[in-house]
Structure formats: C-alpha cells, structure tokens
C-alpha cells in the first residue's frame, strides 16, 4: 500500500493517517532465507517473484550487519543445498535472528531429514560466536519452511531481546518483528492510545503488547512455543496466557480488545463476538490494509485515530494501527 492508497483510506474513514519511519538500512533483525544452488556455490536468499528461483543475497543493506556476517560464515562451509526437483540435499532454509543487545545470531538450519545438518552445525559452532544453533527437521515435498521437530544444538535456548526496557525471550519458532526499532514505536503508541479497563489480547505472540502496557490482561496465542517463551520472562501474575486459537476465546472480551492478526484478518467468529460484546475500544494492528478495511467496515465502529508504520523500508508496505470506538 503506497502513500496514495493511504490517502484514499484516510478519506474513506474521514481520519488522517500519519506515517512513521524508522532507519532504512541495517534494520532487519530476522531473515528467513531459502538455500538452493550447488555444493560450493550455494544461493542463499529470497525467491524471485512468482518463481522458486533464489535471488542470492550477499551483504544485503536491509540486514543487520550481524546477519550478513553470519551468512558469509555459512557460505564458507561445505554442505549440499536442497534440490526441489529431486528432493535431495541437506540444507533447505536458514533462519537468522539477531539480538540487538548482544549482536549475536540465533541460527536455525532447516534440515532435509534427520541428521542431514548435524556435521554442518558442529563446524559452524566452532567457526563463529553464535548466540545459539538449532536444527529444524523438514522432510518431503512441501512449501512449508519449518517441520514440527526442533533440535537445540548449542547456546542459550531462547534469544533475549529488550523492548521498552523489558526483557523478552524468543524460541526460534516464535514470531518476532523484523524491524524492532520501529516496532518499539508501535508499542509506545499503543500505550498512549489504550483507554482504561481490562485488556484482552488476541494473536498475542510472546506478549510484547500486554507486557509493555503493564496492566491486567488475558493473552491468547496459538503457538505453544510462545507460551514457553512468555514464561521464561517471569511475567507479573496479573497477566494470564492462554494457548489456543483466538476465535475460541471470545468469551474473554471485557473492556479493551487488542488484535494483531495474520494477513487474512479477523476470523468471522471474532467479528460476531465483538458485535455481541460490551467492548469499549479495539486497537487493531494490521499487516494487510485490505483485510483491515473489510473488518472495520463489517464492525461499523468509529475510527478515532490511525497511524501507519513503514516497517519494511524501500517497499510500499505500511503497517497500520487503528483505534476504534463503538
């Protein structure tokens, strides 16, 4: 969504939408990259649009420098990249996540079957000061990056990260925003916009929003590794974390609802529950303006403030935060 689309959305809802920018180089603290090519000349990067051909990313200016250094180390080692046609090879994907505090990388090697990346993990551990190394096992013909089996090879189990002065911990299976510097600005704005009352947070991840609000709340998140990571931070007792699907816990709605759903937007069950609830305010953070617009129009609530965030610099993507009142 470019600035013209933002202006159109602003006109439709009769509410000005300001856009906040962050740093435009070295901002990305997480990268999930495909590994293809040949032994000795791997291609590690993103799929070109509409294909499964990999655009090799060497010293990408978007990446935190710790990621670029880590990728140079990986390229210096011997392994067999994955071949989608023959389903052969050892290494399918890599995930690299940087702790801004320690400048070290939590590395995940996505292995094409059990044992395929064990030697590579041992060699890499000796070659670089990683935060930690994990292996994820994924087998067969699938476009899904991760399999269900996670193997912790070395280093701390959770990546530590600080947001607004609070410690957070991330299992590699947990979602983390790629542009954390600007995400902290989102957290500050939510803190300013949230009215009085009890919080229900859906799609809560590791609980960054509710923990930085520092008030009683119920958090709902489907990913069990998020609950595991949440508990490591020793959260206050007035925050209750519930592992489950957000649409199955609409009975928790009381005063304020905070949602950060996937691109498809809110489940119809949630929309119906909102309509039947006594909620006073919704704070809706969206990565997809189209589903956001659809959901807001379906609810019929008033938009009283809107802010956009350029979370992916050098693209047209704008993350939107809407404050809605009944």
Q: Residues 6 or more apart from 152 whose CB is under 8 A from it?
A: 132, 134
Q: Closest Cα to residue 91, out of 43, 127, 53?
A: 43
First CA to last CA distance, the chain: 27
Does 287 participate in catalysis according to the annotation? yes
- The answer to whether 31 touches 321, Cβ cutoff 8 Å, is no
Q: Which of 40, 84, 33 is nearest to 56 (CA)?
A: 33
Which of left, alpha, beta for 207 (phi over 0: left; psi -120 to 50: alpha)? left
Q: Which of 269, 307, 300, 301 is nearest to 285 (CA)?
A: 307
Nearest Cα to Cα of residue 112 among 94, 96, 88: 88
Give the closest residue to 40 by CA, choosing from 88, 76, 82: 76
Q: Please pick, among 60, 117, 174, 287, the residue that the annotation labels catalytic.
A: 287
> Are the CB atoms for 280 and 325 separated by under 8 Å?
yes
CA distances from 24 to 72, 308, 310, 314 (A): 22, 16, 9, 7
Residues 6+ apart with CB under 8 A from 104: 66, 98, 129, 130, 131
Give catalytic residue positions. 287
């Amino acid at each position: 969504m470019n600035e013209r689309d933002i202006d159109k959305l602003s006109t439709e809802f009769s509410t000005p939408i300001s856009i906040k920018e962050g740093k435009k180089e070295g901002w990305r603290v997480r990268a999930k990259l495909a590994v293809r090519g040949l032994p000795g000349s791997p291609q590690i990067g993103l799929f070109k649009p509409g294909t499964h051909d990999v655009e090799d990313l060497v010293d990408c200016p978007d990446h935190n420098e710790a990621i670029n250094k880590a990728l140079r180390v990986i390229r210096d080692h011997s392994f067999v990249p994955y071949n989608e046609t023959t389903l052969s090879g050892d290494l399918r994907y890599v995930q690299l996540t940087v702790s801004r505090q320690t400048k070290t990388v939590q590395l995940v090697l996505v292995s094409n079957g059990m044992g395929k990346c064990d030697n590579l993990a041992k060699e890499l551990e000796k070659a670089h000061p990683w935060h930690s190394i994990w292996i994820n096992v994924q087998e067969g013909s699938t476009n899904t990056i991760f399999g269900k089996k996670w193997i912790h090879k070395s280093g701390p189990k959770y990546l530590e990260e600080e947001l607004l002065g609070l410690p957070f911990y991330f299992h590699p299976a947990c979602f983390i925003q790629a542009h954390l510097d600007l995400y902290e600005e989102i957290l500050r704005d939510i803190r300013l916009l949230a009215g009085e009352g009890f919080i229900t947070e859906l799609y809560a991840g590791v609980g960054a929003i509710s923990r930085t609000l520092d008030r009683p709340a119920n958090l709902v998140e489907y990913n069990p590794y998020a609950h595991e990571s949440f508990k490591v931070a020793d959260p206050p007792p007035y925050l209750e974390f519930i592992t489950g699907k957000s649409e199955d816990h609409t009975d928790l709605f009381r005063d304020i609802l905070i949602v950060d759903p996937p691109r498809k937007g809110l489940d119809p069950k949630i929309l119906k529950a909102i309509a039947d609830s006594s909620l006073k305010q919704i704070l809706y953070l969206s990565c997809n303006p189209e589903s956001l617009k659809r959901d807001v129009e379906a609810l019929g609530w008033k938009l009283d403030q809107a802010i956009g965030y350029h979370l992916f610099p050098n693209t047209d993507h704008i993350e939107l935060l809407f404050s809605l009142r009944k």
